[in-house]
Amino acid sequence: MNEQAAPGRVGDVRRRNLSLVLDSIARNGDAKPSRAQVAAGTGLTKAAVSSLVADLVESGLVSEVGLYRDGERGRPGQGLELSSRRGVVGMEINVDYLAVGLVDLGGSLRFSSTVESRNRGLKPGAVMEKLGELASQAKAAATSAGITILGGGLAVPGLVDEQRNIVLSAPNLHWEHEQLNPQALLEDAPLGVRLSNEANSAALGELWYGDGPADFLYVSGEVGVGGGVIIGSELYTGPGGSAGELGHIVVHPEGPSCSCGGVGCLETFAGQEAIFEAARIPEGSLGRRTELLLAALAADEPHAKRAVRDAGRYLGIALASSARLMDIEAVVLGGHFAVLADWLKPAVLSSLERYAPGLLEPESLTVSRLEHSGTLLGAAGQVIRAVIESPFEFILGKPA
Amino acid sequence: MNEQAAPGRVGDVRRRNLSLVLDSIARNGDAKPSRAQVAAGTGLTKAAVSSLVADLVESGLVSEVGLYRDGERGRPGQGLELSSRRGVVGMEINVDYLAVGLVDLGGSLRFSSTVESRNRGLKPGAVMEKLGELASQAKAAATSAGITILGGGLAVPGLVDEQRNIVLSAPNLHWEHEQLNPQALLEDAPLGVRLSNEANSAALGELWYGDGPADFLYVSGEVGVGGGVIIGSELYTGPGGSAGELGHIVVHPEGPSCSCGGVGCLETFAGQEAIFEAARIPEGSLGRRTELLLAALAADEPHAKRAVRDAGRYLGIALASSARLMDIEAVVLGGHFAVLADWLKPAVLSSLERYAPGLLEPESLTVSRLEHSGTLLGAAGQVIRAVIESPFEFILGKPA
DNA sequence: CCCATATAGTTCAGATTGAAAACTAATTGG
DNA sequence: CCAATTAGTTTTCAATCTGAACTATATGGG
């Protein structure tokens, strides 16, 4: 007999309802709902909510924050919120910088720090050591703010195997099948450290802490062109975990060869390198080249304008195909594309209009406002969401 | 408070376990498992399975089929199977034919009938009337076989709104926003008739009754080029229900204009019309033109060979992009593409190798063996799956 | 100032359900 | 014919929700 689904036990009902209550409190974070409001919102009885909230408060996930005084009749409720004394550390390794952030359960970024670091070509061990120093800063910040760190999320610009903590391939770091030990960054954290893809984390950050709708494609223009697909408020990673690889969609069958071995991939037209080259920006650091490009654009320099226009045109083709294939109705531009948005967006829109008229509303092509913190928030948020979705498991092994 | 998830009640556990048991019996259809085997397979106790099976037998969904006699020691078990006395009618409207089939809960096609019918341009009412005659045949077949019809599935070659029984757009029938009344085809069926898209149904048929793996893209070459995406053994329809539209992926930015208003869509290279035209097959009925094309290919006629090779090449580009974007690892060719597979497949494979080397194994590009019955089985199967997934709801309003 | 009214939250009986264990049923093999 | 073995049922128990009754704490009119 081949089976997979677990049988339903009576206790599963409580698991689910603990999550439901926690989620309800999380969604209404600003309102600090009372037990009675949670009961109304979830459809559970007051009795059940009381019992569930008691468990959540005891575990430290939820705190009571004083009484209501809204001038209404009746006994005032106890406001509930996700504990601001429990946090998760978001971390990011990128090609030219490292970053950490401390996010409390309510989603507030309580501390963050970024350092420049030329990571391309460095061994994972060296990079992890540098990142460890940043993580220590986050731990110190947590201690002084009285925050217990539950876990961490580490985003890298490449394809990862979350289960086994392996970076399968991060071409822009020149990493190939590298075993990491992210747990070492936060040794005492009961939930450990979760490895994730940078574009996917940024997409999730946009979903949870930005203004991404329930369904959208996040497009990250970094050195490569990555993407994160959000469907029904969930990250879609595909059966093998590598969905959203927008950069290697074929946008011109007679286009140039790509580093992936293919031909005419989007990345050969809209990757950072391709844009800089077409715009005739000389070699240099990424930050410097970006400055030069923006200056050239501002000065109406024809090569620069043309480079960005072409990138936008091919990005539009890729988006048209993606939207058709996956029925995507909104797109959020991030990374390099957010920086270039003023010049890029018109080209993308006119390309969309040419290749898939009427498919995407112009208003549904938006630009991320979170910038780098989006990735940190998303990386940490994945751990926070895991707790919200399975508080029961967390309560069992609770850390005091 | 904005909430969506329903609270977990104690009774939900039984709902879930009823489905689990029914699913276990369905998966092991040929083995006719005993209660004890179901218990072992699901992880439930024998006691729980006994109680659950009693409800399922009483509702008529499951029947006991005699004792085991496998020569082992111990009391023999009662074999269980999905009742072969309950069935669902699958129906299909396509451009040049109508079809119905009677499928029992176990997935056997107990009766089927197809008639040629030039439906393009006909009003939905006229087509539905013709289809009603075929449905009557299915009903008569059910009666004489002692099968109670629970519901039906109707597949059409276009985008549908399942909830409201509207065909939003079926360009090849020249239907645009047509309200149907599929319930009228099977008036007494307690579960009604479910409208669905033809390519999606065919994909599901391939999944449930063919040899499709848990994750694949079904590509249907009919008059248009459609697709059905199966992920984790589920149909992926996208937030708006129109995912899988492979036909309008842009495969050449300077390609011809497409009926969708776009440019360079796959359909302009690999749609039936495009292939016939490039192969210089004269106008005529679809069946006749297909015969001529196959004859020309067999005779090594250069235009025909080139037409199919080009179609394959562009199909390969679309598949490369799709596989990258959605992380798809297997493709099943159906419809026209299955008929042309011998000539088409080499071109698709070499195109894949050029545009996305190593992404898809040649063995994971397969050809459907179900042909037309795949769509019927898939259309009916959706109703069968709905019962398997929610037997509790079915038991409540059970028909005698 | 007091009490009717209203709202928040708790307590407790009742119902549903699966687990576990003991039990009954049916078969094989020595 | 009986021990061993496997299938399936019955019984007891614990978990957990609902619903109703109850307690707690506020507002506001007389």
For residues B139 and B245, membership in a common domain is answered with: no
Q: Is residue B183 part of a domain?
A: yes
CATH of the domain at B43: 1.10.10.10
Per-residue pLDDT band at A2 (split at 50, 70, 90): very low
Give residue A67's domain range. Answer: 10-82
- In the 60-119 segment of chain A, residues within 7 Å (Cβ) of strand D are 67, 69, 71-76
CA pair distance B372, A208, nearest whole angstrom: 44
CA pair distance B158, A330, nearest whole angstrom: 23
Q: Chain A, 239-258: which have a CB under 8 Å from a chain B CB?
A: 239-246, 248-253
CATH of the domain at B131: 3.30.420.40
Confirm if A190 and A399 have CB atoms less than 8 A apart: yes
Q: Is residue B355 part of a domain?
A: yes
- At A372, the amino acid letter reads H
Statement: residue A221 has pLDDT above 50? yes
Mean pLDDT of chain A: 93
Give pLDDT tens digits along chain B (400 positions): 444 578 888 889 999 999 999 999 999 888 899 999 999 999 999 999 999 999 999 999 999 998 877 777 888 999 999 999 999 999 999 988 999 999 999 999 999 999 999 999 999 999 999 999 999 999 999 999 999 999 999 999 999 999 999 999 898 899 999 999 999 999 999 999 999 999 999 999 999 999 889 999 999 988 889 999 999 999 999 888 889 999 999 999 999 999 889 999 999 999 999 999 999 999 988 889 999 999 999 999 999 999 999 999 999 999 999 999 999 999 999 999 999 999 999 999 999 999 999 999 999 999 999 877 999 999 999 999 999 999 998 886 654 3
Confirm if B200 and B228 have CB atoms less than 8 A apart: yes
Q: How large is the average pLDDT for residues A274-285?
A: 94
The confidence score (pLDDT) of residue A397 equals 61
Confirm if A118 and A130 have CB atoms less than 8 A apart: no
Q: How large is the average pLDDT for residues A85-100?
A: 95
Among A300, A274, A173, A170, smallest CA distance to A221 is for A274
Structure tokens at A250: 């074929």
Residue B219 phi/psi, 5-degree rounding, is -115, 120
For residues B178 and B238, membership in a common domain is answered with: no
- Supply the DSSP symbol for A281: P
For residues B217 and B195, membership in a common domain is answered with: no
Cβ of A32 near strand C (under 7 Å)? The reply is no
Q: Is residue B3 part of a domain?
A: no
CB B262 to CB A354 under 8 A? yes
Indicate the residue among B67, B82, B97 that finishes a domain.
B82
Q: Is residue B4 part of a domain?
A: no
Among A396, A388, A391, A330, smallest CA distance to A363 is for A330
The confidence score (pLDDT) of residue B397 equals 60
Q: Is residue A185 part of a domain?
A: yes
The confidence score (pLDDT) of residue B399 equals 42
CA pair distance B89, B70, nearest whole angstrom: 35
Give the residue, A118 or A69, on which the prediction is more confident. A118
CB B239 to CB A232 under 8 A? yes
Q: Which nucleotide is nearest to B34 (CA to C1')?
A: D7
For residues B61 and B114, membership in a common domain is answered with: no
Confirm if A113 and A134 have CB atoms less than 8 A apart: yes
Lowest-confidence range among A67-76, A333-342, A345-354? A67-76
Sheet holding A166-170, edge to edge: A159-161, A166-170, A175-179
Q: Is residue A4 part of a domain?
A: no
Per-residue pLDDT band at A287 (split at 50, 70, 90): confident
For residues B95 and B76, membership in a common domain is answered with: no
CA pair distance A70, A76, nearest whole angstrom: 8
Q: Check if B389 contacts A (Cβ < 8 Å).
A: no
Per-position b or e across B167-192, b if 16+ CB within 10 A of its CB: bbebebbebeebebebeebbeebebb
Domain count, chain A: 3
Confirm if A147 and A367 have CB atoms less than 8 A apart: no
Cβ of A135 near strand D (under 7 Å)? The reply is no
For residues B144 and B173, membership in a common domain is answered with: yes
Cβ of B31 near strand D (under 7 Å)? The reply is no
Statement: residue A398 has pLDDT above 70? no
CA pair distance B227, B224, nearest whole angstrom: 10
Sheet holding B97-104, edge to edge: B109-116, B97-104, B86-93, B148-156, B193-197
Strand positions, DSSP E, chain B: 62-67, 78-82, 86-93, 97-104, 109-116, 148-156, 159-161, 166-170, 175-179, 193-197, 216-221, 225-231, 234-236, 331-335, 365-367
* Closest residue in chain B to residue A44, using alpha carbons only: B7
CA pair distance B105, B89, nearest whole angstrom: 11
Lowest-confidence range among A61-75, A258-272, B84-98? A61-75
Q: Give me the helix-helix angle, A302-326 and A341-355, nearest 10°.
A: 50
% of chain A exceeding 90 in pLDDT: 83
Q: Is residue A2 part of a domain?
A: no
For residues A227 and A352, membership in a common domain is answered with: yes
Q: Is residue A3 part of a domain?
A: no
Q: What is the pLDDT of residues A310-330, one digit of tens each?
A: 999 999 999 999 999 999 999
Q: Check if B326 contacts A (Cβ < 8 Å).
A: yes
